[in-house]
């Protein structure tokens, strides 16, 4: 079987890394295609190098653009590669425009589609990611659901049982494998002058938050109040788009410590040593849960309800009062919750299933 692994963003590289490592262990016929949805491959090269992954065979350099423009550009470019390479199956991960474009290109060429992290639902169709998830799942032949809840979501939409496989989430594999690598890397904690357990970590980058002035301003106000209330550093590695929108909206933070984005290994160090994480990222919600660090989600909903059910996470929305209230709740909460995302062997299961071992 010839397999095409398609990635387009840094979270996809991270979550697909365990699958790539499994394919490397076996006599597998596969190659990697990087769409360059958010960045050029040259900017992402460090991720492949740090995670000790082979470089992509193809780099599409799709770049940014409107959702329709970006999706169309990726679809056209991927179709050409798939026609040339004729793989038996493509593997995509998550909910980006790259994922949807790849699935559409493959299904129209009668190439099978495997969707890693299938079945996640926020039930908010205002989110472009939700549309991408739903359409990709309904194009897919192999739906690798991370949890029983994800499988139930798929069954509720009429997807046949025989297409769905509960594998666990590859983020568990990725965190476990990458922590070992991170321990041998330069210490981001020391570089930033931080002490373990004595800072809060923030990520805010989702379109629904940073492209809306009122929401973004409310979040920043809440985070400033949090820093003042606890007299503890609040570290915010700012995504380039978020920084651009802060400037556009003329938003300022009095007490937040804004830093440049860090690589995955450095960010993993920051996450694992934080006292509390506040985020609008789905992946960071998962990572915090796995690492045993309390999390406050700066959104009105989440496609990771398992993190809330086990007590690792709480939804705060964007109200400053609610952000402060939820932070206090999570700081007082007992740790030691179970990890709902699996045993760290999802990558192996996915490769086994593709090879006919079920």
Q: Is 205 a catalytic residue?
A: yes
> For the sheet containing 29-34, what is the strand order?
58-59, 29-34, 2-7, 89-93, 112-116, 142-145, 164-166
In which residue are the tokens 């590695």 written? 237
Cβ atoms of 56 and 41 closer than 8 Å: yes
Buried b (16+ CB within 10 A) or exposed e, 283-299: bbbbbbbbbebbbbbbb
> Would you tell me the crossing angle of helices 10-25 and 282-291 to the nearest 10 degrees?
60
Residue-level length of the chain: 358
Residue 181's CB is within 10 A of a number of other CB atoms, namely: 14
The order of strands in the sheet holding 234-237 is 257-259, 234-237, 200-203, 276-279, 295-297, 313-315
Q: Using only C-alpha atoms, what is the Rg of the chain?
A: 20
Angle at 185 between CA 181 and CA 188, to 5 degrees: 120
Tell me the pairing of strands 276-279 and 257-259: unpaired
Catalytic-labelled residue, pool 34, 38, 115, 205: 205
Residues with a catalytic annotation lie at: 205
């Amino acid at each position: 079987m010839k397999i095409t692994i398609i990635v387009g963003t840094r979270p996809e590289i991270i979550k697909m890394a365990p699958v790539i490592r499994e394919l490397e262990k076996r006599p597998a016929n596969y190659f990697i295609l990087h769409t360059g949805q958010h960045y050029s491959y040259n900017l992402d090269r460090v991720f492949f190098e740090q995670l000790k992954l082979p470089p992509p065979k193809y780099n599409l350099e799709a770049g940014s653009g409107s959702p329709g423009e970006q999706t169309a550009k990726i679809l056209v470019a991927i179709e050409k590669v798939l026609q040339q390479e004729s793989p038996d199956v493509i593997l995509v991960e998550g909910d980006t425009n790259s994922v949807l474009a790849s699935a559409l290109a493959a299904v129209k060429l009668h190439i099978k589609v495997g969707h890693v992290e299938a079945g996640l639902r926020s039930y908010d169709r205002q989110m472009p990611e939700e549309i991408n998830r739903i359409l990709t799942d309904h194009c897919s032949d192999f739906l690798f659901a991370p949890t029983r809840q994800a499988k139930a979501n798929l069954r509720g939409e009429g997807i046949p049982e025989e297409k769905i496989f509960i594998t666990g989430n590859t983020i568990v594999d990725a965190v476990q494998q990458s922590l070992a690598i991170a321990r041998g890397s330069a210490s981001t904690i020391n570089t930033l002058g931080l002490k373990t357990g004595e800072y809060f970590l923030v990520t805010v980058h989702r379109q629904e938050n940073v492209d809306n002035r009122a929401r973004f301003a409310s979040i920043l106000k809440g985070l400033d109040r949090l820093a003042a209330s606890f007299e503890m550093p609040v570290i915010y590695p700012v995504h380039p788009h978020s920084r651009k929108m802060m400037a556009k909206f003329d938003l300022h933070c009095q007490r937040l410590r804004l830093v440049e984005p860090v690589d995955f290994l450095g960010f993993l160090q920051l996450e694992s040593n934080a006292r509390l994480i506040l985020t609008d990222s789905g992946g960071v919600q998962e990572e915090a849960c796995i690492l045993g660090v309390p999390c406050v989600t700066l959104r009105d909903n989440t496609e990771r309800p398992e993190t809330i059910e086990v007590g690792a996470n709480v939804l705060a929305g964007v109200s400053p009062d609610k952000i402060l209230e939820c932070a206090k709740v999570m700081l007082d909460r007992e740790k030691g919750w179970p990890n709902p995302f699996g045993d760290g062997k999802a990558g192996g299961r996915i490769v086994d299933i593709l090879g006919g071992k079920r």
